[in-house]
Amino acid sequence: MYCKKCGKKISDNARFCDRCGQPVPAQRPQPKKRELDSYDRYRKKKMQKEAQRRHQKKRVAVIVVWAIIIAVIVSVAGGLYAHNYIMKNAPDGVQAMPGVSPTPKPSETVEPTASTAAKSEEPDDSEGGSMNSASDEGCQIYIDNVYGFRCPYPSEFEVDNLSNQNTRLSLKDAEGGGRMIISYEKISDTDNGASLMRDYVGGIGVSPEYNRAGENWYSVSFVRNGKVNHRKGIIINGTEHVYYDFTYDQLSDKKAKYEDYTDYIDEFLDTQTEGAASRETQKPDSTKD
């Protein structure tokens, strides 16, 4: 590894730089790089989990319905038994009316059918249709040849002209109204995920519904003026900040699909931070005399 102050190559076990005396922080074990499934496999696994959950709900519904049916049968049988017992042991002065049976006619019962035993659960069109559509259309990968990072974006999104000085790619979904902007900026080597998140949250003007940060990443979600806003940012190579902003209407018909996209893009960017950390440890000494 190399000294962060003077750039001299030093031993991995060194505690101080033997050139400038700079203390060397303890090395943290690098997380194992996770193998990222393709978008189709990611959606397939999520749909399998949803199917398992629906199956469990169906089993619970069947159990509840049959428990109710058994309870009704037991109650009717108990009532009939009690009535017959009372009539059989009634005093001699108590007689049934002529032509009328002392045993009442049992009430009619309805045999349980498949529709009454367990209501079949139809897939949610708003969610299942969106998932199938997302799986069919998939995501494309934006490759930045200048700064060397990659970021997925929904294939149905089209490039538009909304941009600022940090924007690398601006996209919009004409159908659902969603918008995605991929940005890049240089930062100080003292910045980390938590400090970048604090700076961003301090400027949004509302309390976030979700905010988390790590050493080289952060994620924030909030609602403002009826719009859902989501940002995921990562730090690569120590001083490069890559982030994307995803915005859509809170009542959008494509809300579930947009949530699936942000989940997938977030996981993809996590692999970028792991790869960047590996490349940074192999950075050549450019300050050596």
Spatial separation of the C-alpha atoms in residues 181 and 244, rounded to whole Å: 5
Dihedral angle of Cα 44, 46, 47, 51, to the nearest 10 degrees: 130
User: Which domain, by its residues, includes 186?
Assistant: 125-280
In this structure, the answer to whether residues 143 and 106 fall within a common structural domain is: no
In this structure, the answer to whether residues 112 and 203 fall within a common structural domain is: no
Contacts of 175 (CB under 8 A, 6+ apart): 156, 254
Q: Which tens digit of pLDDT belongs to each residue from 98-132?
A: 444 444 444 443 343 333 333 333 333 333 333 33
**Do 58 and 123 touch, CB atoms closer than 8 A?**
no
Spatial separation of the C-alpha atoms in residues 47 and 52, rounded to whole Å: 9
In this structure, the answer to whether residues 238 and 187 fall within a common structural domain is: yes
The Cα-based distances of 132 to 45, 58, 125, 127, 129 in angstroms read: 13, 23, 10, 9, 5
In this structure, the answer to whether residues 106 and 241 fall within a common structural domain is: no
In-domain check, residue 94: yes
In this structure, the answer to whether residues 141 and 242 fall within a common structural domain is: yes
The one-letter amino acid at 32 = K
Q: Which tens digit of pLDDT belongs to each residue from 137-166?
A: 478 999 999 998 999 999 999 998 777 789
Give the three-state DSSP class for 222. Answer: strand
In-domain check, residue 144: yes
Q: Which two tokens stand for residue 102?
A: 């002392």
Spatial separation of the C-alpha atoms in residues 24 and 99, rounded to whole Å: 105
Report the 10 Å Cβ neighbour count for 34.
10
Partners of 230 in beta bridges: 221, 246
Predicted confidence pLDDT, tens digits, the chain (289 residues): 788 888 888 887 888 888 888 888 776 666 555 555 567 777 788 888 888 888 888 888 899 999 999 999 999 988 888 877 777 765 554 444 444 444 444 444 334 333 333 333 333 333 333 333 333 347 899 999 999 899 999 999 999 877 778 999 999 999 999 999 999 999 999 999 999 999 999 999 999 999 999 999 999 999 999 999 999 999 999 999 999 999 999 999 999 999 999 999 999 999 887 654 444 444 444 444 4
Write down which residue in 96, 117, 138 finishes a domain.
117
Spatial separation of the C-alpha atoms in residues 232 and 196, rounded to whole Å: 11
**Domain total for the chain?**
2
In-domain check, residue 80: yes
Spatial separation of the C-alpha atoms in residues 241 and 243, rounded to whole Å: 7
Report the 10 Å Cβ neighbour count for 158.
11
Contacts of 275 (CB under 8 A, 6+ apart): 33
**Do 261 and 154 touch, CB atoms closer than 8 A?**
yes
Report the 10 Å Cβ neighbour count for 189.
10
Write down which residue in 80, 98, 117 finishes a domain.
117
In this structure, the answer to whether residues 208 and 83 fall within a common structural domain is: no
Spatial separation of the C-alpha atoms in residues 144 and 185, rounded to whole Å: 13
